[in-house]
Amino acid sequence: MAPQQSLLRRQLKRFFGTAFVIPAEWQGFIAAVDSAYADFEVDRELTERSTELSSQELLEANSDLVKSREMFRLMAESTKAIPFTLNLTRGCFPYIGAQGIADFGIAESEWRVPGALDVIFPRQFNDEIRRRFDECRSGQFEFVSSLSPRNDRRTEVRWTGTCEFVEGAKYLRGLMLDVTELRRLGRELAAAQKLEAVGRLAAGVAHEINTPVQFVSDNVQFVRKSMTDIATVIQAYRRLQHAVQSSGDIEGAGRLADEAEKAADLDYIMQNAPLALDSSIEGLGRIATIVRSMKEFAHPDQAQKTLADLNQAIRSTLVIAHNEYKYVAELDTRFDDLPPIECYLGEINQVVLNLLVNAAHAIADVVKDTGNRGRLSVRTRLDGDAIEISIGDTGTGIPEAARENVFDPFFTTKEVGRGTGQGLAIARSVVVNKHGGTLRFETECGKGTTFFIRLPITTQVHGTGKMRAAA
């Protein structure tokens, strides 16, 4: 007899009395209860084992989570990044990394107090950051902005993370990273690239200046020598005038004046001296244009965008790059009327110069020593809410295998010593990252390549970190 049945029988006898005899027809019921109880025992044992396993899995998962959080903390602190959670609705930081507490010198409890955002990052000193926070929408965000916390240590900070809404509250979660030194190094690198470009073109610019200087010098020497000859003629005519006034040897004085005029070749001087002076004025004008273009090209980098005339900027850059293309290409330009555009002008000049030099080199690879010339075309046009600059060449075109890599840093198809592979990478960074524009190209092997720069006329930065043209 199963233990369950013995227990049930004891319970029946306890309830009905020890003399109670269990009817035969109850035997099936007792057997059914026994079977159900046995199944319950099995299920209970399985449940207990499952609970034990689940608890173990939860412990292991929790341990993994703790390890992951610790790894994240170590990674963040090793990069000096500050992880944070910002409840923008309440204006406080439910979580701030230890690095932030140390850097800002503010106790963790002060970050958690509602309204802490206004105390730690006052809006009057951090308007851009606060505006970016307000503009964030659900999804990822990334932007760089100057930061002036209450300890008055102004820095440049990259904010990156995600924005989400939880139970009506707006949360920003991510990292803040001090990029002050990185940005300084970036500016120094950009300046070095510009100096490299100017240095590469220095010989050509010197040649461009030397040519007008040479013919100005020749013209001045001609005029100087001519003035000596003219002075001789004038002296002869003065003697003739004196002879007339004193009734002296008029005939002899006249003969001497005639001889002086012929010796000086006065007709030639009178005909060519004005031309020499005009030529000198033109040469000095060319020199002034080159110097002015150099000044405009070397536009100092600025922290803020300024309104600029892109047509004039491109003309100046063409003057600087003239020696690069004048022997291999005919220049074809068409500049449409454009409105002023907010941009970092010095960096846009650098982008245009890089593309012009690349185009000149591509054309040179085709014409080589044939004496023929290709065509370098430069266009600007207004396209809706953007300005498009196109720079095309009749060069070799970009090989298909290289087209996906042309914007990669240090990638170049030029021989060693002719290219660093930085030009197009910098161009893309300037156009896309700093101006919210696009940089693309169309190419055909054996026919040439055209690069298209598209810059929005007015830009606004949204919470996603992307630049969009304002309506």
Q: Residue for token digits 């004048």?
A: 326
pLDDT tens profile 392-419: 999 988 888 887 877 776 556 555 444 4
pTM reported for the whole predicted model: 0.49
281: its two tokens? 């004025």
What pLDDT is stored for residue 280 in this prediction? 75
Residue 333, pLDDT score: 93
Amino acid identity of 125?
Answer: F
Amino acid 235: pLDDT: 77
Q: What is the mean pLDDT of residues 76-102?
A: 84
Please list the helix, strand and coil fractions of the chain in percent, rounded to the nearest 5, in that order.
55, 20, 25
The better pLDDT of the pair 417, 207 is held by: 207
In terms of phi and psi (left: phi > 0; alpha: psi -120 to 50; beta: otherwise), the region of 70 is alpha
Per-residue pLDDT, 465: 38
Q: How far is CA 367 from the centre of its chain?
A: 34
pLDDT band for 462, please (50, 70, 90 cuts).
very low
Per residue in 279-336, pLDDT (tens digit) is 777 777 777 777 776 666 665 556 678 888 999 889 988 887 888 888 899 999 999 9
- With a cut of 50, say whether residue 150 has pLDDT above it: yes
Tokens of 463: 């919470």
Could you say which DSSP state residue 300 is in?
P
Cα 12-16-20 angle, rounded to 5 deg: 85
In degrees and rounded to multiples of 5, residue 297 shows phi and psi of: -65, -40
2 pLDDT above the threshold of 70: no
The one-character DSSP state at 430 is I
Q: How far apart are CA 396 and CA 461, in angstroms?
A: 39
- The C-alpha angle with vertex 451 and arms to 446 and 453, in degrees rounded to 5, equals 175
Q: Enumerate the β-bridge partners of residue 392.
A: 377, 450
Cα Rg of the chain, angstroms: 43
Confidence of residue 467 (pLDDT cuts 50, 70, 90): very low
